[in-house]
Structure 1
Amino acid sequence: MSPLLTFIRSHLSIKIGIPLAVVLFGCIFVWAGFQVAREERFVQNAGVKEADRVLATARLGLDYAMLLNSREDIRAIVANLGRLPEIREIRIINKAGQVMFTSKGEAPGSRLDTSAAPCQVCHQLTPPAVSPTLEHRLYARETVGGEQILRIVGPIANEPGCTEPAGCHFHKDSEQILGVLDIAFSLRESQSLIEEFKENTVYLAALVFGAAILTLFLVIFVLIKRPLSRIEGEAQAWAKGKKPVSIDEDRLDEIGQLSRAIHQMGSDLIAKNSQIELQKDLYQDLFEGVPCLVTVQDRNLRLLRFNRSFAEKFNASVGEYCFKAYKNLDAPCPSCPVKKTFETGRSHTTEETGCYRDGTRADWIVTTSPVYDSEGNLVAAMEMCLDITSRKDLELALRRSEKKYFDVFNNVPGAVFVIDRDDLSVLDCNRGAVAMYELPRGELTKRSLHDLFYDERRDAAMAAVIDGQDVEQARHVTGDGRPFFVSMHTSFSEYAGRRVLLVTVADITKRLEAEQQLIQAGKMATLGEMATGVAHEINQPLCVIQTSVDLVRRHLGRGEAPPLPLLTRLTDLIGNQVDRAARIIGHMREFGRISDHEAELVDVGGIARRSVEFFAEQLALRGIETEFALAENLPPVRIDPNRLEQVMINLLVNARDAIEERAKREPACPRRIVIKATANHDAVKVRLSDTGAGFPKELAAKIFEPFFTTKEIGKGTGLGLSISYGIIKDAGGDIVAAKNAEGGATFYIRLPVAREG
């Protein structure tokens, strides 16, 4: 780069001044050119008008001589006009194109063609122009010997004096133009004026340009150069860490704002430098005091620096190989993170195992980071080792604990499922689930909770599981389609960072079968206890039928047919009694059948009335009254109707026996059973009260235990209330007993209202 260009590029005032000077010069040049062109057009137009005036004057001067046809006078006038300073030639040309007179002294008589320029002024138009404009009459601009010449013509019109017969010569009155006057007019004087104007304009432009340039550079120096030099000095002082003596506070323009900004920046820079020094000291303290091992290594894996923690843990020195210091090795580690950092220029993390100088084993998380110099070259690597020995020990203990709990999980005597709470898919299961559902673990983990259930009545159980509630009884299905009964216990947990349900499933099929056998045995015992009463109930319709048959036989024995009205009455009576016996036997058969565990929507009031109806004759024989206080429109409950009827009959049998026991001691005691049913939005409540002997208060806790009874030996099995308790509990209800203050006992049954779905 040339010194001049370097000088220009290093000075702001010159870089600003040169473009401004160029722009200013261009503006002045354009202005001067515009003025000269404008003046030149003005002068030339003035010359044309002057030439036209001279032409008009010459034509006036020749007018009288041409009227008199005085050729000598015309020739003299033309010669005189030709001697004028601005006229270079003057000619008179007649209409035939013949030069009649000329100021050059040459012999006239030459003829011009109509295509010649003077003739074309009029003849270029059709018809020829009589009064052409000045623009048409100026037919030539030429330069002769450096002098501009204008050639202009003026038509010589045919005046009345020329056409009169008495005139000096004769022209036809139809001839409008007799010829033209042709003048060659010099613009030497106009050229002199134009040249003088050009010279003056150049002088003025140079003067204006010089004054403007001087003013411009003076303004740049005063307003830019000097303030910037001052600001530069302030910046150099700030760069050396010194505060300038003063700043230009009075200037409000951009230079003043720049000066104040640099002053503020310098103040901030000194403050930042102080903070940097403080942080440098702080980082040095952190480097030395950080609770991990920090080293700085070169490409050869030699130690350049290390912190206090490293020095305390290892017998190392600067320049020693890191693999020797850490692990007492003679060669680098196979997967050295420092070497990878030098190869890739990026951080790397790994886990390493070694020993401290006291021989204790240590595990570290090793992280490396590249170190660059000011030119961006990778010159070193920083290695940070965080001791994770305690964490490793905990991980080992955790793995052992996980194995132990996994063994527990797999050996739980039952099925355990891990269910995703969002989509209810099976995430995991134990060996008990594989055995119970007769499916491999991989197949079970492809299913969802919904697939475990057997029938469509799964929704209520699934809703309970989702809410974390226990399910006492549900029906699941094995892999080969075999249904079985289960109970489910649910708890919330987490598994692999996901919210899950921990569902424990127990197969209760055998338990239910045993309970069913026990319930069936209780039914049979109840039917056995009711046998005498039932036989009496069946005997009554049989007696009525026998009496009707005997009456018909007596009529037939006398050899006469029974009257038709009597036969009609007797057949109706026999039919009614047969229906009554059939109902009693059907009720007994239905009561005695084995239940299929199917819960239905049941009207508690209807079951209560049906049970009393089945037992009514036995109660009537003992003089026991039955009262009902059943609320209307009781909501349905979900329970096996056969089982609920068994509960009611068990309670009626107990009430009957208790009343009979009290009647033995108190013959005049009241004999009454009251059944009351009410409901709210949650449950249906049934209360069955009797006026029997009751039970001691201290036995209230044992009354529902299996094989416990207060009856005489041989009269009760002790299963009725225990079975009733289990039936009510399986339906989600409660049953309790209390002794009445006036004697007797009351049993309270609470069953939940069946919800939709």
Structure 2
Amino acid sequence: MKNLRHSLVLRLIFAVGVTLLISISTWAYFSIRYQQKKFMQSIVEGTDRLTNTIKLGTHYAMMINSRDEINQIIRNIGRQKEIENIRIYNKDGQIKFSNRDSDIEQITNIKAEACYICHRSEPALYELELAQRTRIFTSPRGYRLLGVISPINNEPGCSSECHFHPKDKKILGALDVVVSLKGTDADILRYEEGIISLTVFVFLVTSVIIFIIVLKFVKQPIKKLIDGTHLIAKGAYYNKVDVHTEDEIGELAMAINSMGKEIGDKQAKLNRQRDEYQQLFENVPCIITVQDRNYRLLGYNREFSNKFNPKKGDMCFHAYKGRDKKCENCPVEKTFEDGESHYSEEAGVNKDGTLTHWIVRTAPLRNNEGEIVAAMEMCLDITPRKQLEEQLEKSEKKYHAFFSNIPNPVFVLDAENLQILDCNESIRAVYGYEKNEIVNTHFTDLFMEDKKHYAREILTKTVIDQVKHMNKAGNILFVNIRISPAEYGEQKVFLVTTSDITKRLETEQQLIQTSKMATLGEMATGVAHELNQPLSVIKTASSFFMKKIRKKETIREDILLTMSQEIDSHVDRATKIINHMREFGRKSDMCLAEVQVNGVLQKAFEIFSQQLKLRGIEVVWDLEENLPRIMGDPGRLEQVFINLIINARDAIEARWEFNRQEMADPQEEERKIFLRTKTEGDKVVIEVEDTGNGISPEIRTKIFEPFFTTKEVGKGTGLGLSISYGIIKDCGGTIRTRRNKGKGAFFVIQFSISEK
């Protein structure tokens, strides 16, 4: 009974059987209910049709008030087997016609069952649905009866001269037909018995089929699966369960077979690993021992055996160090006390007398109850590391001496907030601070302007040139900064080296100013031509005024206004030229800003426009409209463009003079300077081309060198292109020469478009 109670097959059959029984019983119940409802609906509808037939059959007789004919019709219809009663009531509840003579002229109680259907409310109801006019009750002989009562309506013919029914009466009476349900109930009972018999038959047949299927396709395969699992548990990992079906049990059998194979493979692997771990324990290149609470050696590996040659039952401290009692700082003792792993560094003497250093690590060994029964101690020889540490300490001292004595200031900055963590002694000579005054401050405090911007630059760049710093005395220093990421201890830092370029920049400024003065000398002739025209206009106008005044002649107002306007405009022009010269010649620091190159190029040309025109040199413009802005110093860029225009002018003049001396016709030579601007990708490009002598390949690589010039002595300093190269580089641009399809020089300048 216990096996049956725990049998999966029995549970499966029982569950399926109960489910099948409930399903078939539910189907049988609803099927019987449906048939009962259908039979009753058919009987009710048939009885209602019979009621309507009787009313139609007696209609004519009622119209002529032929009582005998009405009685005859009702008796003939009442002879049918299923009909129990046919009664016609008047409005007072008196039976006027019936298929039974004993019922005629009897007065029924108005609250009786047939009458109560309509007289349950005042006034009485006269329009009812079929379901409301139907009643079922039991006869005295024990079988059920169905009654359908139908009202007899007052028609126009009923209130004629031959009848006495008033017109305001809607109901004259009621027709009540009662039929027997004895046959119908018998048919329903037979149907119920058939359905129940069919249900029992289907349940039994299905149960037997399910039992056979479960027995053959479930119980027997499960028995084989159980037997196969027992064999795997006994170690027969490669035994196969003999179940060859393509259903879930077949898949389970394949899974069990696969599981047995995998368990066998893993067991073999575990055996190999056990052997490997044993070999590792024996051959690991460090000392491993297992000790009890009395520090007695329970086990050790080959390395320990070869190094110390212990005896059986030897004590740890005696085998290691030849001591008679345990060490004062013993990690094994601590492990037995708190059950945790402990660490220490030990030193001892080998058999050959050399000093050895170890890192000692212990771990507890527990039994199944969690009790500490032994401690494992592992010792790693760190003698080479100790020697390296000593060498590293010497090396650190050496490199710290280098760090301290580097002539440039070196800062160690926190990579997150740029706080100065350390610095060398050179900051005293450059910045005037003592080391303890500047450590733990922020490196950005040294910047004079836009500290947030330079903080971002330090985080993203490796080189920052020409930055303004301020020393302790408040003086401005120009420095170049070099940044490299590093580690300071375990902290990420930046190594920042600054180079003081203040004196170099001052020298460069002097050279640039010298170049400007030389350029101003070159520009003097052009400026004279430019100033000559407004002075001539002013001279002419003043002579005219004096002449008229001497003759005491009146000057017309329109003429006076026109000449005054001319004088005013030419004074403005002369003032503009003089201011331009003064601004150009003024000494200024580099200051980058957004620049529109077209405007700077046109401003540089204004000074030479009249001079070039007088010398017969044509300037061809090809400027891109809406040219993007760049970052640069407009004053210094103007100096670059002026240098290039002067060089182009001199080259054209030199070529013209050479052709004249060679007896060639100089009129046939083109005297043009081409000025172009355009955008290429993310670059703004400026091209300056001339029709002069050009640049030979031999000197192409030397033209940007300081003091290199191809002009005659006294006609050039050799600084123009060198300074122009430096200015463009400081503005983040490039300048180069390009081979010209013609004969002259061709300079190409490129700048990155401003990111603002």
Per the shorter chain, which TM-score range? 0.5 to 0.7
Query: In structure 2, do the counterparts of structure 1 residues 325 and 700 end up closer, same or farther at CA, with 3 Å as the change threshold?
Result: same
Query: In structure 2, do the counterparts of structure 1 residues 664 and 707 end up closer, same or farther at CA, with 3 Å as the change threshold?
Result: same
List per-residue Cα deviations over 1:201-234 (Å, max 9, x = no partner).
xxxxxxxxxxxxxxxxxxxxxxxxxxxxxxxxxx
Deviation for aligned residue 1:694? 1.4
Deviation for aligned residue 1:575? 2.9
Q: Is the 8 A contact 1:681 1:753 kept in 2?
A: no
Task: Give the distance between the partners of 1:536 and 1:272, measured in 2 at CA.
Answer: 103
Deviation for aligned residue 1:632? 0.6
Number of matched pairs: 498
Deviation for aligned residue 1:718? 0.4
Deviation for aligned residue 1:588? 0.5
Query: In structure 2, do the counterparts of structure 1 residues 665 and 332 end up closer, same or farther at CA, with 3 Å as the change threshold?
Result: same
Deviation for aligned residue 1:552? 4.0
Deviation for aligned residue 1:720? 0.5
For 1:697-736, what aligned pairs fall within 5 Å after superposition?
697-736=697-736
Range with bigger deviation, 607-616 or 390-399: 390-399
2:528 pairs with 1:526: no
Aligned to 1:682: 682
2:357 to 363, 383, 397: 363
2:483 to 471, 475, 490: 490
Aligned to 2:608: 615
Task: Give the distance between the partners of 1:416 and 1:354, measured in 2 at CA.
Answer: 44
Q: Is the 8 A contact 1:305 1:318 kept in 2?
A: no
1:384 to 368, 378, 389: 378
Task: Give the distance between the partners of 1:405 and 1:723, measured in 2 at CA.
Answer: 40
Please give the secondary structure, in 2, of the residue aligned with 1:506.
strand
Q: TM-score, structure 2 length as denominator?
A: 0.58
Deviation for aligned residue 1:522? 0.7
Aligned to 2:510: 517
Task: Give the distance between the partners of 1:304 and 1:623, measured in 2 at CA.
Answer: 110
Task: Give the distance between the partners of 1:617 and 1:375, measured in 2 at CA.
Answer: 108
2:465 pairs with 1:472: yes
2:552 pairs with 1:563: no
Letter in 1 for 2:460: D
Please give the secondary structure, in 2, of the residue aligned with 1:754.
coil
Letter in 1 for 2:712: E
Letter in 2 for 1:611: A
Larger radius of gyration: 1
Query: In structure 2, do the counterparts of structure 1 residues 647 and 337 end up closer, same or farther at CA, with 3 Å as the change threshold?
Result: same
Q: Is the 8 A contact 1:552 1:562 kept in 2?
A: no
Q: Percent identity?
A: 49
Please give the secondary structure, in 2, of the residue aligned with 1:751.
strand
Range with bigger deviation, 528-537 or 371-380: 371-380
Please give the secondary structure, in 1, of the residue aligned with 2:622.
strand
Deviation for aligned residue 1:539? 3.6
Q: Is the 8 A contact 2:358 2:380 kept in 1?
A: yes
For 1:155-554, what aligned pairs fall within 5 Å after superposition?
285-329=279-323, 332-370=326-364, 380-422=374-416, 425-426=419-420, 428-432=422-426, 436-438=430-432, 446-448=440-442, 451-456=445-450, 459=453, 461-478=454-471, 482-497=475-490, 499-554=492-547
1:629 to 605, 622, 633: 622
Q: Is the 8 A contact 2:470 2:477 kept in 1?
A: yes
Root mean square deviation of aligned Cα: 4.0
List per-residue Cα deviations over 1:670-713 (Å, max 9, x = no partner).
11111110114512110011111112122111111110001001
Deviation for aligned residue 1:743? 1.2
Query: In structure 2, do the counterparts of structure 1 residues 314 and 662 end up closer, same or farther at CA, with 3 Å as the change threshold?
Result: same
Deviation for aligned residue 1:345? 4.2
Please give the secondary structure, in 1, of the residue aligned with 2:714.
coil
Letter in 1 for 2:597: V
Deviation for aligned residue 1:527? 0.6
Task: Give the distance between the partners of 2:370 and 2:560, measured in 1 at CA.
Answer: 128
Query: In structure 2, do the counterparts of structure 1 residues 549 and 275 end up closer, same or farther at CA, with 3 Å as the change threshold?
Result: closer
Q: Is the 8 A contact 1:697 1:739 kept in 2?
A: no
2:630 pairs with 1:663: no
Q: Is the 8 A contact 1:492 1:502 kept in 2?
A: yes
| Structure 1: gaps of 5 or more residues | 1-237, 244-267
Q: Is the 8 A contact 1:368 1:382 kept in 2?
A: yes
Range with bigger deviation, 283-292 or 654-663: 283-292
2:625 pairs with 1:602: no
Aligned to 1:742: 742
Task: Give the distance between the partners of 1:242 and 1:738, measured in 2 at CA.
Answer: 87
Q: Is the 8 A contact 1:602 1:636 kept in 2?
A: yes
Q: Is the 8 A contact 1:700 1:738 kept in 2?
A: no
Query: In structure 2, do the counterparts of structure 1 residues 568 and 365 end up closer, same or farther at CA, with 3 Å as the change threshold?
Result: same
Letter in 1 for 2:707: F
Task: Give the distance between the partners of 1:652 and 1:271, measured in 2 at CA.
Answer: 88
Please give the secondary structure, in 2, of the residue aligned with 1:699.
coil
Q: Is the 8 A contact 2:592 2:632 kept in 1?
A: yes
Letter in 1 for 2:617: I
Deviation for aligned residue 1:726? 0.5
List per-residue Cα deviations over 1:710-736 (Å, max 9, x = no partner).
100110000000010001011110011
List per-residue Cα deviations over 1:320-370 (Å, max 9, x = no partner).
554343334455433122333344444321111222112232221112334
Task: Give the distance between the partners of 2:750 and 2:450, measured in 1 at CA.
Answer: 27
Deviation for aligned residue 1:609? 0.7
Letter in 2 for 1:453: F
Deviation for aligned residue 1:409? 3.8
Please give the secondary structure, in 1, of the residue aligned with 2:608.
helix
Letter in 1 for 2:307: K
Task: Give the distance between the partners of 1:600 and 1:242, measured in 2 at CA.
Answer: 86
Task: Give the distance between the partners of 1:586 and 1:751, measured in 2 at CA.
Answer: 28
Task: Give the distance between the partners of 2:475 and 2:434, measured in 1 at CA.
Answer: 16
| Structure 2: gaps of 5 or more residues | 1-230, 237-261, 660-665
Please give the secondary structure, in 2, of the residue aligned with 1:716.
coil
Deviation for aligned residue 1:663? 1.0
Aligned to 2:37: none
Task: Give the distance between the partners of 2:264 and 2:637, measured in 1 at CA.
Answer: 94
Query: In structure 2, do the counterparts of structure 1 residues 242 and 699 end up closer, same or farther at CA, with 3 Å as the change threshold?
Result: closer
Q: Is the 8 A contact 2:444 2:451 kept in 1?
A: no
Query: In structure 2, do the counterparts of structure 1 residues 689 and 379 end up closer, same or farther at CA, with 3 Å as the change threshold?
Result: closer
Task: Give the distance between the partners of 1:506 and 1:592, measured in 2 at CA.
Answer: 30
Aligned to 1:231: none
Q: Is the 8 A contact 1:687 1:748 kept in 2?
A: yes
